[in-house]
Structure 1
Amino acid sequence: MTGIMTDTSSFDYLLEISRRCDVGTTSLPSARDQLAVSWSGVGFLLGEHYCVAAMDDIAEVLTEPASTRLPGVKPWVRGVANVRGRLLPLIDLTVFLGESRTTEQRQRRVLVIEKGDTYIGLIVDDVFGMQHFPVDQYQVDSVFSSEKLAKYAQGAYQQAERRWALFRPSQLINDSDFYTVAA
């Protein structure tokens, strides 16, 4: 009978396949050797400052929606927008921080913050998407050129020549100055 393998030949065949698979392979590095600890966040631009916020702090990123101006408010309150049936207050974060605008309107994005009862949109100059930083690049004692930004930032990540301020939206929404909107 040709074509029918005996139990011994089946076993030998499997051993031959295993041997072929092992030829030319090297052992894999251990997970500990390969694991690079990193932190990820949403990168964005405020004036000339590169910032990053924790992914958990940003509910979504939108293009700047049409909004309705509110009378008698400070210039950094852009108004309210209807986003999927919800009213989203829009705050121009660059203007709030007293920074100069560095981008055109079409580049601006809205970082939506939704924490408890707070639902607010922060207009920023640009968004760079998810950024990844090795945790050993974090600097707690960072000095910021903007005192207002320093109030809402906690440290920074150094990545090549660029420094990314770690922006904390919770510090912003807990600040009483942020809610003083009457002009």
Structure 2
Amino acid sequence: MSDSQEAFQTLLQLAQHSRAVARGLPAQADIRPLWSGIGFSLMGQYFVAPMGEVSEMLEIPPFTHLPGVQPWVRGVANVRGRLLPLFDLAAFFGDKLTGTRKQRRVLVLETRTLYSGLMVDQVFGMQHFPMDEYREQAGDDVVPDILPFITGSYPLGGRQWSLFRPALLAEDARFINAAKS
């Protein structure tokens, strides 16, 4: 056998061996469309906010307290040269933040008319939910004061994640008028 035939036979054997040990293509699985949002906890409950309503997540920055405001207004922080009002979301709903100070985060809302930060117990980052599992009811045991800002829920990881809408909060007269009366 010539060198070129021997090389060809070697390549054929290598190709046959590669096919024999190659994995098959992944099984065709039904692709379920997903809805994504920012997961967070507040007052021991799990929530998710739509991606378009939260512009960023921050550790709680140093802030200055403000006089003459509601107790749930924590103050104002300088974030990259912009003044960010900080609101304790749990205090707004008549409770207090739980967990450690190190876990607490700020969800930044930015609309045409509002730039503010909501302090929450913990942020879990982006969460993905199968769209066909959406329920129009809030998750179990949601505090009644929060219900006007909930538009449904998704199950994930053995939990019900209530869909919290910061845009609805930004339209709430009590939230917008943070000065003490």
Secondary structure of 2:115's counterpart equals strand
Secondary structure of 2:102's counterpart equals helix
Aligned to 1:86: 82
1:43 to 39, 44, 57: 39
Cα distance per residue 1:84-124 (max 9 Å; x no partner): 11100111111111233322333211111122342111111
TM-score by length of 2: 0.84
1:131 to 118, 127, 133: 127
2:153 aligned with 1:121, yes or no?
Answer: no
2:178 aligned with 1:181, yes or no?
Answer: yes
Q: Which amino acid aligns with 2:147?
A: A
Query: What is the rounded CA distance, in whole Å, between the counterparts of 1:136 and 1:72 in structure 2?
Result: 46
Q: Which amino acid aligns with 1:110?
A: V
Unaligned 5+ runs, structure 2: none
Given that residues 105 and 123 in structure 2 are in contact (C-alpha distance below 8 angstroms), is that contact kept between their aligned partners in structure 1? yes
Counterparts of 1:12-31 in structure 2, within 5 Å, are 14-29=11-26, 31=28
Counterparts of 1:163-174 in structure 2, within 5 Å, are 163-174=160-171
Counterparts of 1:153-172 in structure 2, within 5 Å, are 153-172=150-169
Secondary structure of 1:139's counterpart equals coil
Pairwise CA distance, 1:18: 3.1
Secondary structure of 1:105's counterpart equals coil
Unaligned 5+ runs, structure 1: none
Secondary structure of 2:95's counterpart equals coil
The alignment-based identity, stated in percent, is: 44
1:101 to 97, 102, 112: 97
Q: RMSD value over aligned CA atoms? A: 2.4
Given that residues 57 and 169 in structure 1 are in contact (C-alpha distance below 8 angstroms), is that contact kept between their aligned partners in structure 2? yes
Q: How many aligned residue pairs are there?
A: 178
Pairwise CA distance, 1:17: 3.8
Aligned to 2:146: 149
2:71 aligned with 1:75, yes or no?
Answer: yes
Query: What is the rounded CA distance, in whole Å, between the counterparts of 1:154 and 1:126 in structure 2?
Result: 21
Aligned to 2:49: 53
